[in-house]
Amino acid sequence: MDVLGVDACGKQGWAGIRLTDGAYAGSLVDVRLDALVERAAGVQAVAVDMPLGLVETGWRAADLAARALLGARRGSVFLIGPRPVWQEPDHAAAADRCQELTGHRLSRQAWTLAPKLLEARACWLADERIHEVHSEVSFRALAGGVSPTHAKKTWRGQILRRALLAEAGLVLPDELGEADRVPADDVLDAAAAAWSAQRIALGTSGRIPEVPELDADGRVVEIRY
């Protein structure tokens, strides 16, 4: 069984880690998510570390629940504004719209996700194999329900996350091929997404929240892990 985990990696686009029966089977990097998924022909599940489902008003229950779960790592979960917010042309307009719909303004950090969020959302709506994950939620699950004590951009944090993946059977080689030029934290996030994709394909994954909301297009708004 083949699955794919994907993380956004700045100007390089998207980084993917492919697994076969839970073991590392290669990396892919592409400027477009749809092209990356197409290149990973035959995968049964694709887990993307990016918000995908959007509600019409209020904050997403998935984000609020994930923040409560992660404790010290809660800041890694951005509060994602409702769908109309992402149709605005710039941050100022989006923040105003978010204030109307949630009672709070959208953070500038969250707004920087807009291009990748909209790209990934379009792929999600077109392909039922694609699921939303969040790397820190996945790493918490890998660690037996304890959030990592060190941030993912730190040396200790990266060593810990690589070890957690290895303990689960996902051993990342020193040479990755295409992903050799991708920042280490993005590789680790893609690998955590791949671990979650394997669980999704097997039907053993968890989900946040337990009772999900529905996107305007009818798909479930949730974070899988």
Domain boundaries in the chain? 2-50+126-207
Q: Tell me: the pLDDT tens digits for 139-198?
A: 999 999 999 999 999 999 999 999 999 999 999 999 999 999 999 999 999 999 999 999
Q: Is the pLDDT of residue 58 over 90?
A: yes
Q: What is the pLDDT of residue 217?
A: 87
**pLDDT above 90 for 216:** no
CATH ID of 2-50+126-207, from 3.30.420, 3.40.50, 1.10.10, 3.10.450 = 3.30.420
User: Is a pLDDT exceeding 90 seen at residue 212?
Assistant: no
> Distance between alpha carbon 54 and the CA centroid of its chain, in Å?
14
**What's the predicted TM-score (pTM) here?**
0.96
Residue 34 has pLDDT above 90, yes or no: yes
C-alpha–C-alpha distance, residues 136 and 77, integer Å = 8
Single-letter amino acid, residue 169: G
User: CA 87: distance to chain centroid?
Assistant: 21
Query: So what's the pLDDT on residue 155?
Result: 97
User: What amino acid is encoded at 57 in this protein?
Assistant: T
Look at strands 23-30 and 45-49 and give their pairing. Answer: unpaired
